Every structure is written in C-alpha cells, then in structure tokens.
Structure 1
Amino acid sequence: MDSPSKDPPVAPFILFGVVMALASLPFLSALPSFQVHSEMTDLLAGDQRSLSSFKDANSQLANTIGSQSAVVLVSIQSEDVFSPKTISQIVKITTALTASSNITHNFSLASPRINPSFKIDSTLSTLALHSRLSANNLALIGHGDFNGTRSSLGNLVHAAAIVGPALIRDTHQLKSAELSVVQKTLIRARVLSQQAQLAGAALSLAHHATNEWSRFEEYNIKPFIPLTQWIKTVLNREANAPALALGDIRQKIKMEIAAVKQIEKTYDRPIFRFDFTSIFPKPITQLSPDEINDIRKWTTQFPFFRNLIVDGQGRNAMIFAFAQKGPTNRVAKAAFCRDINERLQPFRDAGHDIRVLSFPHGEVETMEYLEQDLKRFAPAMFGIVFIVLLITFRGSLRLVLFVMTLQIAGIALTLGLAPSMDSHVSPFTAPLFPLLAGIHLTLLIHMGTALQTALRSGHSGDNALSAMLGQIFQPSGYAALTTCVGLFSLTFSEVRPTAEFGRLGAAGISLLFALTFGPGIVLLKLLGGLQPLPQRKIDHTTQWLESLPMRLAGKQTIIFAATTITLVVIIVGLQKIRTDIRIVEFLNPQSNTRLSLESLDQSYGGINFAKLEIDTGKKGGVRSGEFFGLVNHLHEFTSKQSGVSMTYSLGGLIKASDEIIQRDLPRLAALTPASLRASIMLDQFDQPEVRKDLPLLDSLYNRTRQKGWFVLRTQDLPSREYITMLKAVETEAKQAAPEGWKISMQGPIQAIQKADRQIVESQKGSALFTTILIALVLAVLWRSAPLALLAFTANIIPVGLVVAVQGLADVPLNSITIMVAAIAFGVAVDDTIHFITHWQLERKRGAGTREAVLRTLRVKATPIISTTVILMAVMGVFSLASFPPVVAFGWLSAIGYLTALTSALILIPAALCWRK
C-alpha cells in the first residue's frame, strides 16, 4: 500500500469545495431565467433557403399589413375544390377564422375580393376628355357657325330670286331707244338698288366665309401644327431625327397623363380602376356545370392563383388568413395557435382533410415536442443511472446517493449557466444538457470506483479520499480538458446553434469538474462510511477482460487486418458524406408542421422561393421594354428547367393583368397600345388598397422601380441540384440582359453555399483543432510522444468510423450532426487517458508491461465499461427525440463510444503489450 503522503492532501479540496459552493449561488439564482427559444430564426439557423424565404415573407407582411402581422395558411383537400360543397366549407372555414378580431384579412377561393378586374368611371372619363380637349384647343374641332352660313347663303339666294329677274329685265329695258330720259333715269336708279341688294347679300356671305375660315384655322389646323413639325423631323435626314420626334411625342403623352392624374386627384377617384370581386359572379349553387368548369379552368391557369390559392388539379385549396398582430412570446403564441386550432377542429371532426402552417404553429409545436422529449428523457435517464450505479458500486447506497445528489446539482448548475452566459438555447442545443449530465456521470463513476479501490486497499477516512484523488484527479483533469477541447472547437463554427453548443458545453464541463472535485469531496466526507472494504474476488468477466487482450497481443496480423478493413470502410464512407440542410429534415416525420410543408411541397409546386435580382441602373427602369423582354425570355428559359414549378415577375403580372383588361374592357384594349396599358397598370399597383390585396408585389419590384426580381418557385431539391439550377438561370439572365444591367442571384446561392461551406469548414476546423490540441495534451500528460500517438490513433479510428457510417447511412451533415466527430473524439479519449495513466502508474510501481496491463484492467475495466454504457445509454435516450438530427446524433455518438470502448480495452492493451 502506498504512503498517503504521496497523494494530494484533502484539505485544499475541502476549502475549494466551500468556495465553489458559494460561487455556484449566482448560477442557481439564474436557474428560473432558463428558457429554450423556438423562434423561426432559431429553427432555421442552419437552413439558409428557408431562412431567406422566412425573412422575405416577414418583410412583405410588414410592408403590406404591419410589422407585427402574422399569416396562417390553411389548406383543405378535396376531390374537387370547386364543388358547391367544398366552396361552402371554405366559406365556413374563412368565416370561422375571421370571427377572430385579430384576423383582419383573408385570401381564398371564397373571398369576396380576389378576382382581379378593371373598370372605368364613365362620368369622370367624359369630364377628363372634355377638359383635355379644351386645354389642347381640340374641343371645337369640326365646329362652325353653320346657322350663320345658312342664313347668309339664304339671304343671297333670296335676293337673287327676288331681285335677280327684275334686275335682268330692267337691264335689258335700258337698252331700248324708245325710253325717255326720265324713264331711263328711274330704271337706272332701280337697277342700282337691285345691284346693291345683291352685293350686300354677297358681301355678307363673303364676310361670314372669311370668319369661318379663320375659325377653321384656329380650331382645325392650328392644333395639328406640332404634328407637322414632328412629321418634318421624322423626314429629316439626320440619324437621330425619328428618335427625337418620338421623344417629343412621349413627352406630350406624359404631360397628358399627368394632367389626367391631376383631374383624378381633384375628384379623389381614379378613372381607370383595378378592383377585386368574387370569382363566382353569383352563388355557386346557381352556376351551371359549364360556368363552374370555366371558372375552374381560368383559376387553375391564372399564374397568380395557380399553386397559391388552388393547385393545378383543383384538389387543394389554400386559405391565407392574415392576423394584424402576431404573438410575440411563448404564452401568446400558444394561445394564438390554440385559438386557430379550436376554430378549425369542428371541420376536422366533420372529416375534412385540413393542414395548418404558420410560424407560431411551427414554433409552438417544436416546443411541445421538446417538452414531450424531456418527459421521456427524464425517467429513462433516471432508470439508466440508477441501475448502472447499483451494478457499478455493488449496492453501495452511499455512493449512489452521492452520485445522484451531484447529478442533480450539476444539472441545476448547467441550466443556470445558460442565462448567466446569455446563451440562446434552442431545441437543437437543448440536447447538450443530457449530454453534459452523461459526461458528468462518467466522471462521478470514475471517482466512486477509485474510492472503492482505495477502501479495498485498506485506506480509510481522509487517507481514502487522498488515495482516490491521487488515482483519478490528474487523469480526470486531462480527460475533462480533452472533452472541453472537443466542445470548444465547435465555437469556431459559423453555424450559430453549433457554436452555442460548443461554447456552453465547454463552460459546462469546466463547471462540472469544479463541482465534482470541490463540493463533491465535501459531500463524500459528510456522507461518511469511509471504512476499509474487503478485497473483491476476480470474477469471470474480469478474467475474460484480462485474457482477451493477451490473446490478441500475439495475433498482430488479425489486428492489422481489422484495422485495414476499418480504414477502407472509413475512406469509402467519407466519400459519401453530404451536406443538405433543409428544415423538413429537422422536424419530426409525424409533426403537423413537417406534414404541412411536405403537402405544400407536393401539392402546390414547392416550398422554396429564389429571387433573381435585375438592377436596371435607373429609376423606373422596370417600365422599359428591355426589362419586359428579359423577364419574358427568362420565363421561357425556366419553363424547361427541371424542378422549377412556377415563376413570378412584374412582366408575368402585367401580362396576366393585360389579359384581364382585354376580357373586361375590350374596346379600351383595342384603342390603346400595350405600353400605355402597362403604364396604367403599374400606377394601379401602387395604390395602397391594391398592394394590400397583392402582397406579392413587394417581391417583384422596389418602390423606385429601378430593381425588379424574377422569382422562381421550386420543390424541395437537394442543395447541389438547387444551386446548379439557380446558376443556370443566373448565367442565362446575364447573357440576355442589356449592357450595364446588374444581374445577381448571389443572395440565395451564396446563402446555401455559405451554409454548406460552414458545415464542411466547421467539421474540418473542429476536427483539426480537437486532434492537434488533444495530441499535445496527451503528450504533456504522459511525457511520451509514442503513448500520445498510440492514444491518438486508437481514438481517431473509431471517430473516423463514425463519420464514415454517417456517410454510408446517408445522414447529412447539418448543424447537429457536425458535432458528432469533435464531441465523440473528446469524450472517447477520456477512457484512454484513464487507462494509460493508470498503466503508467503501475509501471512506476515496478510492474512489467503485461502485468501493468493486467492490473490496469482489474482497476479500470469496470469504470470504463460503466461510463461507456452510460454514455451509450444517454445517446440511446436521444433515439426517443422527436427531431431526426438529434436521433442521428445519438446513435452515431453511441457507435463512436462503443468503438472507443473496443479500442480502450482491446486495441490499446494489446498495443501496450507489444512495447518492450
């Protein structure tokens, strides 16, 4: 038996325990502040596609309804959503939803304001026409004094009819020689009078004609003088003459449009109005089958209805319910979702297939699943811990009580640590706490078994505690350090949940180590019972564990062959590793949110939206023909791309709206050019009431009309296929765009590539940091590079095997599974540290190489097996989780710990036996 003086004294640990107990009070006081956040930004932290869509949707709602608004999507499935029965149910569901004072707006097949239409205010249009004709001197075109002309001409004709014959007769009579002078004088006077009458009538007509010609010039020729100037300009030989003429014409048109807008402003109503009515012109029960079929055909083909409020087959209909004020905290979110669900439940009870999707529903459901997981985790963990402790400590209730007490204290401290560090705990970082509890438990088991070993060696009281500390304090410290290194390496990740996991985990391990060797020592002393124990007989299990490494030590070929096969498997598996971060893969396969997302993806043409930005470089650029030509070309190009279900753009909206104008106002469509109709429609789209009914507008162009967006809707494609498709569209747009325009889809592409790069770089960075630092720690601990290399190799192979299994099992790298390698390596190397450290101790006591291995197996086999079983059990508990990445994290880690156990108790003992 070694002298107690060689082991650490107990007093400093007792003092540290008291100080540590006092220092722990702030963490315990922060425990009530602990909470798990389930906001969408937390749930989507790793899914850049969905996170981008979420932020875009939020900004649209803020622009159209309000910054605190929320939208609820309600999908109803039916054989025919246009049947009177289904439409009636949609009306009832909408009525039930809008009965809530918070639901202020809805959008569905049954909405009274959904069918776009164009109308003209005939009274105001007539008034505006007369006003502009007068302003341009066109009101009197064709006007004249027709009554005056008729009167003057009538007077002349009348005079000619009355005076003419007499004038002719008198003129002829003057030629007679028989007339006297007096007679001739009288006749001449009469002729002069008659001529004067005719001349007066003729002069009156001439004067009137002169006036009418002046009026004709003023009203009919003068207004068209500018047009003659434009014609002359066009006929000019200068190269830019036609362009100048057309520019003048455009300027004149703009002036007239501005004047008409001023008239609309004066009368506070538009002449040309974009309005919304019901899809059904009369109650659906009064519609004929042909009328319903026409409505079905138009609705399922209209690009801004298809796959938004109804799918292309007419089997699924969507109700958009907009809440003026969305819930802002967990209680309010739960109440909001409960209210929506209660309003929909009667329809579900009636047999209707209804899916609900909203951000609050996803957040609340995630928290509910997490709470269910915790309810399953707690009894499972307690049962595992209690059974393993009883087996490990051979029924020592004091040690079981000691471990359980420190476990409870450790859990409380780590939970209080989170708010103290201002850590943002999400459902995907919450598994850290049972993991910390499991790691803490392994440390406590090593302490308990070391204490029992000291008691069986004849020590008692403080001497037993001192002997225990001499055996495990240093290796436990290094083991905790390597675990901290593995966790701390995750803090370098750019994926927020992963970095948070690592930061909080490293701090938690440090805190638990201090708790164990501070207050833990005090608790052991207070519990008492530190009396010598009888020596334990070597059982069959121990004999088998001793003999197996010895037998394998002489069969190096088998070990090398097994190692080679393992390396081949690792290489093959690593080639199959993929990064694919999608929100549906984070959710429980049976969760309503995931089922709704999958239904939306399958029935409505996809859940992913990507935006190609087109910057024309000038305000109003999206009005140009070049812009519309480009987006029309992109519509045609993307229609041939695999995975693209729908495309949306300002050009597509204008085209669809123009079809409505031709339907509603065929005469206006025939009399006005397409460019003018497009300009009128753009002005209508800027009306607040129109933007409220068409929230998609903010995704199509900005308010200055300099930038437009070409929006692609796709199904939930794997990242690689998705990026390939986006790059193809971006390349085509750059080639087709006018010179000087900026085309970019870098937002979504970079987001996804960044997410994938973050995952890969995090895996590489954490693995490199962990391996280098742990190798250095081991070399310092044992002061032996060969031993450090042996431990490093023995543990890197199991971890590599875990990563390979991940690839072979097609488990994607995401913000949860990337932590497996670093954590598994940091935790698995703990057993190696305890084994080799004790082996060195036995060697210092004079044991030979093989004898030191046997003695180490007798002392360390049980705690190593127990700790591995506990860690595997904890990871096995994760299989009860509702989130697939957490489940994968659990079973992958369990495989890592199992292979690390094999390495610690078989490979390392065999390798140590080969040492001379």
Structure 2
Amino acid sequence: MKSISGFVVRHPLASLVASVMVGLFFFLQIPKLTTIDNVDYFVVDDDPDFAYYEEIRSIFGEDEFFVIAFRQPDVFTERNLHLLRDLTRELESHPGSRNVKSLANVDYVDGAQEFFDVRPFLETIPDTREGLERLREQAMSTPLYLDNLISRDAETLAIIVYPHDHPDDHEFRRRFLDDVANMLARHEAEGTRFHLAGNTVSNVFLSRYVQQDLATFIPLTITLVALVILAVFKNLRLTLLAMVNIMFCLGATVGFMALTGTAMHNVTSVVPSLVMALALADTVHIFSYLDKDYLGAEQNKHAALRRVLDKVILPCFLTSLTTAVGFFSLSVSTLLPIREFAYVASMGMLLEFFFSFFLLPPLILFCNPSKIYRSRRTEHGLSGILFATSRFVRKQHVRICFVVLLIVIGSGWFAGKIQMETNLLEYFKKESPLRQDLDFVQQHLSGVATMDISLRANSDFAFSEPENLLLLDAIQSFMHGLPGVDTSLSFADYIKDMNKSFHDEDPQFYVVPEERDLIAQYLLLYDSRDIDDYINRSLDHARIVLRLSETSSARQAELIEATQIFLAELEADGIAIRITGNVVQQVNVIQALLDSLMASLALAVGVIALIMFLVLRSIKMGLLSFVPNIFPLLVNFGIMGLLGIPLDTSTALIAVVALGIAVDDTIHFLMEYDTHRKTGLPIAASLEQAVMNKGLAIVTTSVILSIGFGVLVFSNFVPTIYFGLLSALVMVTALIGDLILLPAIILLKKDRPAT
C-alpha cells in the first residue's frame, strides 16, 4: 500500500492522466444506460415454476393486461355506451394491442328453448329506454361479465387491454400508455374520469419513478455532502476537490453499469447515492490528516502528502475491501436484480478507492499547501465533544454495556415479529396516481393480480366430459371462498352460460350439464373465440384464471398453500393439476430472497472476519470488531419488527450492505487504538487517543453516509424510503457502536502491558 502512495506522490502527473483516462472511458459508456420497466424482473434462477408459467403463456398467450375503468351513476346510456364502443375500437386498432375486451366487443349467448345464438353483446346501441334496460338486464344476468367488465352495481365499466410483448423494446410500454392517455384525455375533458391499473401501468410507473428518483437523488446528494464537507473543514478548495473525486467515482460506476448492460431499476437506483457517500468517506479520512504539523515537519509538500497517505491508505484499502466484500456477498442470490446490485456496488468500491488515491492526491499537490493544510486545534469544538465522550465512556463503561445488552434483548424480541413479504401495492405512496387508480379498480371491479390453475388431461377432448367440467367448477367454488380471490373464469363458466341460454335464459340452468352429447352440441353452436384463453383446441388442457385483490406475498403464500391442500384431496384421475401464474412467481421471489439473504450474510461475516483477523493479528480483537457492527443491525431489525416494516426486496439488502459499510470506521478506530497500545500506552489512554485522532473522520463519514442514505426518503417507492431511513439509522447506531460501545467493552478487560 505504501508503495502505491509513494508512486502517486513521485509521479502525480502520470497518476492524474491515468485516472482521468479511466474516468473518461467509463463516462463515454453512460449514454448506453437503460432503465428496466418490468415489475416481473425479479425472477428466481432455474425456477421450475417460472419455466412452467412460461409454457402456459406460450399456450394461452401472454397474461399481461391493464384495466381502463370509468364510473357513472348510470352506465347504460347512449352516451356512455358510445364512449365505451369508441374507446374499444380505438384501442383495438392500435398496433400495441394484442387483444381488447369490453362489453362493446365481447360475445353474448342469446338463447331460447333448446337453441342459442352467439352474437356481439353490443351489436347495436339502443336509442330507447326500454332497449337500454334490456341491455342492462342481459349484462347483469351474465356472470362472465360481472366484476370483470362491469361492476355489480352497474355503475362502473371496464376495458381490459392486453398489449403485445416487446421484450427488446424498453420504450414500448411507455409509448403505448402515452397514446392511451392521449385517447382518454379527449374524453376526460367531457367530465369522465378514467382509472388505469394493471401490470403494464405498474411497469411504466416503475420506470418513470426510477428516473425521477435518480433526478432527485444525485443532485441532492451532491449538494448535501458538499455542504457537510464545507461545514466540517471550512475550506472551499477541499470541498471542490472532494466534489471532483465523487463525480469521477459516480460517473465511472454508472458507466460500468452501462458497459455491462446492467439497467437501472428500483434496487440499483440506490447505487449512485451510495457510491457518492462512500467515496467521500475515504476523502474525509485523507483530509483529516492534512495537518500543518506534518507540513512543517517535512521537507516539502510531496513528503508531507506522502506521510498523510501512508497513514490512511492501508485502513482505507481495508475499508473499501470489506465494503466491497459486503456488497459482493449478495452475488450468491438467485435473483438477477440483487446480483446486479452486488456487482455494481462492489465495483463502485474498487473505483472509489482507485480515484481517492490516484486522482485526489495529484489534485492536492497542485494546490497551495498553505491553503488546504490546517491545524487540528481548530476543529469546530468537536474535539471538546469527543474528549467529553471519551471521559464519559471511561466512567460509565459498565452501565453502557448493561444498557446496550437490554437494547439488544429488546431488539431481538421485536425482530422476531418481522414479516417477510413483497407487496406491489405498498411499493407506491398512497397519494400516487397509480395507487389511487389501483384502489379504485379493486374497490369496484376485481384485483389485477393473477393466479392460474392449470389442468392437463392425458386424452384429447377430456374437458368435454361433464365430470371434468364439474372438477373445474368445484375448484372455482372452493377458490371463491378464500379471502382475496375476487373472480375466476374457466371453460366451465362458458359451458354453464351456454346451458342457461339453451334453456331459455333460466338461471336455474347455470350449471354444468350432465349429458356429454349436450356439451358437444353446445360446442358446435358456439363459434366465439372468447374461450381460447381458457381451453386449448384439443380440449385436453384447461386453465382457471383467478383475479386477486390480495397483493401481500405472505397472504398470497397462504392462499397458495390452502389451494394446494384442497387440490391434493381431489379425485382427478388422468388430470395433472398445477398452480401457476404471476402470484406464484412473487411468492417464490420472497422465499428466494430470504434464502439468499442468509447465505449472503454468512458469506459477508465469514470473509470480513477473516480480513479482520489477518489485519489485527488477533482472533479476540477480530471478534471484538464485530460487536459495534452487529449491534446496529440488531437495532435495525428490532425497529422493523416494532413498526411493522416488512422484509422485502429493498429492506432485505440492509443487513449485508450495512455490515460492509459499518465495519469501515471500526477498522480505522481499532487500527489507531492498536498503534497506540503498541507504544506502551494504557488501555484508557490508547482509547482516548483513538477517539481524538479518528473521531472527526468517523463522525463526518457517519454524517455523510446518513445523508447519502437519507436522501432516499425522497423516493417514489415506499421500500426505498424504508431502506434509506433504516440505513441512515444503522449509520448513526454504528457511530455510537464505534465511539461509545466499543471503548466501553474494551475497558471491561484489565489493563496489561501491550505486547
């Protein structure tokens, strides 16, 4: 490490040119950066459930959809029906639409005694009150439409749009929804309010919010950390140098993302703020040693800077390494977005160390040393606070340890109450348009989360048999009794509707007919394609499509478990039944997240522990170094349990990320303490010197990191807000752990001469 600092000081121009060239290489990649606009981006690697889900979609078509809903006191008026028909036709003609369904284009089975005719439901729009009332009666007596295309109070109509799948065109959804918004805007001016909800809408809002978050996080973080540097060091030159350094670190990290094809999404969007804050951590440690005493004791500014760098380069390298290890440990995850965060964040740490010691020192040398070196005696009165803290810990170290023990016990108890779940609805703030529209659709129609039950028979035309249709009906009846299940549709529903129509619309005949020949006759008469989403051409593969208003993955898991138990007890000879759909993927993701979190945390602890043992050359000191870092994590999980904050795709990162970061200041503190112990100073005196020498940098970096995480509270995503708040809290409690808890524990042992 010292050879690196020696090279940089001897060859500042070469070091500067090399670091600028590296920075420019990555800067040129930034225009290639993309944003993910897919809420289904979290997929478990090699998941058989996902593979089966893909197979189902290849058979029955993509299941992504969004709902356009509007509400009127009476939807069965000429104006409202013309509006529905016009919008449906416009949407059908749009090249982005794969399919569109509404009362304006679905088929209606119009029956009489022993006959029925399939015709468009809205074949013509009546111009009389009687005709409109007849239309209302037909719609409200058709279960296929209820809660799907029309609400049960007949005051809300829905258009369901199935967009084409364009996986290579990241802008497709946004353009499509922009066109839809322009269509609807013309009619909203006439007083009709439209509400959009569904995966497509969530995807676009997700992408839009990620971009808005970045536009907020980056300038806000830059401004706040600049103010902190200026406030701490009261030196404009140092502030400007710090800003140059973090801009290179930020640009290079984002360029690395673009170079490797890593997109911005709701997980990687926190990386820029994280990298900027961590880049300043090493910068602060360098600045804190720019002491006029060093400048006066050395021959020239090169020798003075060499002495500064020799002091800090090893602990800064170790802190960058342990932080990178903490981040990289997440690469064991079976979820690609988590691995992408691991790769980018750990690379950001390597780039941060590179620029801090190859770009920043030459810039320091190009400045007038008398303008940037300062006397430590002018440190804002913080020295007095640190001195008082050190004396307080010396006197009260036993009580401090006892209080911390009580906090740890309490935190452990509350941590047991943490819920593991992902809830897409809770991703968005209650006041967001997406959240409000989703609430509207779920209140008046059905939820937009979907779960399928696939039934595969081992013979053709199996689902023309009454017993197999009754099996579909029995499963649906059970599902309707489960909380969160709003509607279900299957091939059996269409057969029941045909049977009712065949018997002169008598609702008593809305049942599966007992005769196979009658079912075959219905299928000959029925010439609509509406059933294609529920049965294949050979009638040996059927699916039940469920729409759910339950968006909590924990309760969805309970629903899946209850369904699996019920299905296992069914007698279904020759039919393989399997639960699939988007909801199953969401439940699998949260379980994979928990598994990978445990593996990542174990890996991070193991590798960081090994590094600490090697650096401190003591197993006892290495174990001791974990105490002030495990403490904030326990407090964090305790607060999550106390406040009911779930462990999800964002908050699950906190433990591993915080461990990698929080250990940084511990390394600086213990290495400084060990240095003084080796000179023969007693424990108390060595601790006091460590607090006084490292306190400014530790406090400053903790404040900067808290700010870096704190800006995340301005996110559009609730989990990101929690991630920011809790991570900032971890930084504060880690500061307490390093300057109060760690010295208190060390003071418990008897003072012996240092070896």
Q: Which amino acid aligns with 1:573?
A: F
Per-residue deviation, 1:563: 1.5
Q: For the residues of structure 1 that align with 2:451 and 2:462, how far apart are their CA atoms?
A: 22
Residue 849 of structure 1, aligned match among 655, 677, 683: 683
Query: For residue 382 of structure 1, what is the aligned residue in structure 2?
Result: 222
Q: How does 1:37-116 map to 2 (within 5 A)?
A: 37-42=36-41, 59=58, 62=61, 73-94=67-88, 97=91, 106-111=100-105, 114-116=107-109
Deviates more, 1:430-439 or 1:88-97: 88-97
| Equivalent in 622, 625, 642 of residue 788 of structure 1 | 622
Q: Distance in 2 between matches of 1:35 and 1:494?
A: 22
Does 2:558 align with 1:564?
no
CA contact (8 A) 1:647 1:711 kept: yes
C-alpha contact 2:23 2:248 (8 A) present in aligned 1: no
Q: Distance in 2 between matches of 1:457 and 1:807?
A: 54
* Inter-CA distance 13–582: structure 2 relative to 1 (3 Å threshold): farther
Contact between 1:52 and 1:748, CA under 8 Å: does it hold in 2? Answer: no
**What aligned pairs does 1:431-830 form with structure 2 within 5 A after superposition?**
431-452=270-291, 455=294, 458-459=297-298, 460-529=300-369, 533-534=374-375, 536-537=377-378, 540-663=381-504, 674-683=515-524, 690-691=528-529, 694=530, 697-698=532-533, 700-745=534-579, 751-830=585-664
1:275 pairs with 102, 111, 118, which one?
A: 118
Shift of 1:302: 1.9
CA distance in 1, matches of 2:261, 2:96: 34
Contact 1:775 1:788 (C-alpha < 8 Å) held by counterparts: yes
CA distance in 2, matches of 1:867, 1:775: 22
**What is the Cα deviation at residue 38 of structure 1?**
1.8
State the AA in 1 paired with 2:129: L
Question: Which residue identity does 1:108 align to in structure 2?
Answer: S
Instruction: Describe the SS at the equivalent of 1:576.
Output: coil
SS of 2:369's equivalent in the other structure is coil
Q: Structure 1 752/63 Cα, relative in aligned 2: closer, same or farther at 3 Å?
A: closer
Root-mean-square deviation over aligned CA pairs:
3.6
Distance across 2 between alignment mates of 1:547 and 1:853: 13
Question: What's the counterpart of residue 709 of structure 2?
Answer: 875
Q: What amino acid sits opposite 1:576 in the alignment?
A: K
Q: Which residue of 2 aligns with 1:167?
A: none
Partner deviation per Cα, 1:358-404 (whole Å, 9 max, x = no partner) = 65543333333233323332332232122111122222x22222111
User: CA separation in 2, counterparts of 1:468 and 1:371?
Assistant: 40
SS of residue in 2 equivalent to 1:38? coil
Contact 2:319 2:663 in 1 (8 A): yes
Would you say the 8 A contact 1:17–1:517 is kept in 2? no
Change (3 A) 1:287 1:279: farther
Aligned mates of 1:584, 1:654 — CA distance in 2: 35
Matches of 2:514 and 2:170, distance apart in 1 = 55
The one-letter code of the counterpart of 2:532 is L
Q: Given that residues 118 and 665 in structure 1 are in contact (C-alpha distance below 8 angstroms), is that contact kept between their aligned partners in structure 2?
A: no
C-alpha separation in 2, matches of 1:7 and 1:33? 34
Letter in 1 for 2:683: T
Higher alpha-carbon deviation: 543-552 or 884-893 = 543-552
How far apart are residue 317 of structure 1 and its match? 0.7
Partner residue, 1:262: none
Q: What SS class does the counterpart of residue 558 from structure 1 fall into?
A: helix
Matched, 1:287 2:126: no
1:319 and 2:319 aligned? no
Residues 664 and 898 of structure 1: is their aligned pair in 2 closer, same or farther, counting only changes over 3 Å?
closer
The question of whether the paired residues in 2 share the 8 Å contact of 1:611 and 1:710 is answered with: yes
Q: What residue is the counterpart of 2:145 in the other structure? A: 305
Distance 1:550 1:680 in 2: 93
Q: How many percent of aligned residue pairs carry the same amino acid?
A: 21
CA distance in structure 1 between the partners assigned to 2:294 and 2:109 by the alignment: 87
Native 8 Å contact 2:67 2:158 kept in 1? yes
Aligned-pair CA distance for 1:462: 1.4
Aligned-residue offset at 1:893: 0.0
Q: Amino acid of the residue matched to residue 784 of structure 1?
A: S
Does the aligned pair in 2 maintain the 1:10–1:462 contact within 8 Å? Answer: no
Contact between 2:425 and 2:551, CA under 8 Å: does it hold in 1? no
In structure 2, do the counterparts of structure 1 residues 565 and 274 end up closer, same or farther at CA, with 3 Å as the change threshold?
farther
The equivalent of 2:28 in structure 1 is 29
1:329 to 169, 175, 188: 169
Q: Aligned partners of 1:327, 1:10: CA distance in 2, in Å?
A: 47
Asked if the contact 1:779/1:785 (under 8 Å) is kept, the reply is: yes
Give the Cα separation in 2 of the matches to 1:334 and 1:746.
28
Q: Residues 450, 287 of structure 1: CA spacing in aligned structure 2 closer, same or farther, 3 A cutoff?
A: same
CA deviation after TM superposition for structure 1 residue 777, in Å: 1.1
Q: Pairwise mapping of residues 189-200 of structure 1 onto structure 2 (< 5 A)?
A: none
**Deviation sequence 1:750-771 (CA, Å, 0-9, x none):** 6454323212112211221111
1:798 and 1:708, CA in 2 relative to 1: closer, same or farther beyond 3 A?
same
Q: Secondary structure at the match of 1:618?
A: coil
TM-score where L is the length of structure 2? 0.89
CA contact (8 A) 1:17 1:515 kept: no
Letter in 1 for 2:177: C
Deviations 1:730-750 (A, max 9, x none): 333333324343233267786
Q: What code does the residue aligned with 2:593 have?
A: I
Point out the structure with max Rg over C-alpha. 1
- CA separation of 1:847 and 1:556: change in aligned 2, threshold 3 A: closer
* Paired positions, count: 741
Change (3 A) 1:879 1:302: same
Cα distance, 1:706–1:530 mapped onto 2, change above 3 Å: farther
Give me the whole-angstrom Cα distance separating, in 2, the residues matched to 1:895 and 1:317.
Answer: 47
CA contact (8 A) 2:593 2:649 kept: yes
| 2-structure distance, mates of 1:681, 1:450 | 87
- Note closer, same or farther for the CA distance 1:907–1:99 as it changes in structure 2 (3 Å cut): same
Deviations 1:664-721 (A, max 9, x none): 899xx9xx98422311333566x6xx32xx1x633x2333322222333332153343
- Matched with 1:207 is none
Closer/same/farther in 2, CA of residues 61 and 802 from structure 1, 3 Å limit: same
What per-residue deviation string (whole Å, max 9, x for no partner) do you get for residues 79-107 of structure 1? 23224443344345446656757668643
Unaligned runs of 5+ in 2: none
Q: Take 1:495 and 1:485, find their aligned partners in 2: how far apart are those partners?
A: 18
**Stretch deviating more after TM superposition (833-842 or 371-380):** 371-380
Structure 2 CA distance for partners of 1:665 and 1:552, relative to 1, 3 Å: closer
TM superposition shift of 1:780: 1.0
Q: 1:400 to 1:540 in 2, by over 3 A?
A: closer
Q: Quick one: distance in 1 between partners of 2:639 and 2:143?
A: 45
Q: CA deviation at 1:521?
A: 2.1
Tell me, yes or no, if structure 1 residue 415 matches structure 2 residue 239: no
Cα distance in structure 1, aligned partners of 2:5 and 2:209: 49
Q: CA deviation at 1:594?
A: 3.0
- For the residues of structure 1 that align with 2:96 and 2:337, how far apart are their CA atoms? 33
Q: Alpha-carbon deviation of 1:878?
A: 0.4
Q: 1:604 to 1:7 in 2, by over 3 A?
A: closer
